[in-house]
């Protein structure tokens, strides 16, 4: 467990294991807290790095923090990898973190060995996903206008359903509640904008993962990402949007990438 300062912000990060770098990039309102079990499992494959993105949980939150962007988080991740000597890395990005991973591959290709995209957030690729997310964003903003502490619950109920929120541990509920300002800043800044032509320039091996119980908009977006990235394959796994970063499909893919490296 450690902190470092990059791009004028303090980031909290953790490392497990040795060998090939594997970076986990969490989604909106989340943190490395949600990756602990997966990081332990992944650490048998390499040097696993997880961190809290700016504004989230144990990392510094700028004040004021009205908005942020995928590009800002991408620059943070690139600086983190560079500072700790962890390039090129296999990137595992979930939801908004998947957009960060894609942006890293586009703007910092030498930092990236391979990509695992767990329902990555490029919602503008799909008209249905874009409409759905605009509705969610309006609900988040309305919740923030009443009480910023309601933002996290509003987001999770919209994305994972009522059962997803009710089934969460109190620790994770507190994490999403405390990260309400970061959620709002990410909603205000929007997701990554990358059309198929931009995605077609990514040549790293890529696993694109969708989930059977996610909103249909996510599945459509995942299909479009997989179709646009040439050196990619798609997997559809059981469950909802919070796909495990150590799912068997992910482990299998990383093992294949590492075997090709040896």
Enumerate domains of the chain plus CATH numbers. 2-261 (3.40.50.1820)
Contact 43, 254 (CB under 8 A): no
Question: What are the C-alpha distances in Å from 224 to residues 104, 126, 200, 227, 230?
Answer: 19, 7, 11, 5, 12
Taking alpha carbons only, the member of 224, 187, 230 closest to residue 206 is 230
Residue range 3-35, pLDDT digits in tens: 999 999 999 999 999 999 999 999 999 999 999
DSSP 8-state assignment for residue 53: P
Q: What is the pLDDT of residue 79?
A: 98
Q: What is the pLDDT of residue 34?
A: 95
Q: Could you give the dihedral angle defined by the CA atoms of residues 26, 27, 33 and 36, in that order, rounded to the nearest 10 degrees?
A: -50
Contact 89, 99 (CB under 8 A): no
From the number of C-beta atoms within 10 Å of its C-beta (0-12, 13-18, 19+), residue 35 rates as buried
Q: What is the pLDDT of residue 262?
A: 67
Residue segments in the chain with a per-residue pLDDT below the cut of 70: 262
Q: What is the pLDDT of residue 261?
A: 81
CB 161: neighbour CB atoms within 10 A?
Answer: 16
Question: What are the C-alpha distances in Å from 64 to residues 42, 60, 139, 163?
Answer: 36, 12, 22, 33
């Amino acid at each position: 467990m450690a902190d470092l300062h990059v791009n004028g912000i303090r980031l909290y990060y953790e490392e497990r294991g040795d060998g090939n770098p594997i970076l986990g990039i969490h989604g909106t309102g989340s943190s490395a807290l949600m990756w602990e079990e997966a990081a332990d499992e992944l650490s048998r494959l390499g040097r696993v790095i997880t961190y809290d993105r700016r504004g989230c949980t144990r990392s510094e939150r700028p004040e004021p923090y009205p908005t942020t962007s995928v590009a800002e988080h991408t620059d943070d991740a690139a600086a983190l990898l560079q500072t700790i000597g962890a390039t090129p890395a296999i990137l595992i990005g979930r939801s908004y973190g998947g957009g960060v991973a894609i942006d890293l591959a586009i703007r910092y290709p030498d930092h990236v060995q391979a990509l695992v995209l767990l329902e990555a957030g490029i919602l503008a690729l799909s008209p249905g996903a874009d409409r759905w997310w605009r509705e969610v964003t309006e609900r988040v903003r309305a919740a923030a206008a009443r009480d910023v502490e309601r933002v996290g619950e509003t987001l999770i109920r919209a994305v994972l359903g009522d059962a997803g929120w009710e089934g969460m541990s109190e620790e994770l509920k507190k994490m999403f509640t405390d990260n309400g300002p970061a959620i709002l800043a990410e909603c205000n800044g929007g997701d990554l904008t990358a059309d198929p032509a931009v995605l077609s320039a990514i040549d790293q091996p890529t696993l694109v993962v969708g989930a059977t119980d996610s909103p249909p908009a996510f599945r459509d977006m995942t299909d479009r990402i997989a179709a646009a990235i040439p050196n990619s394959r798609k997997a559809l796994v059981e469950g909802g949007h919070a796909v495990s970063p150590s799912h068997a499909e992910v482990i299998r893919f990383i093992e294949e990438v590492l075997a090709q490296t040896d």
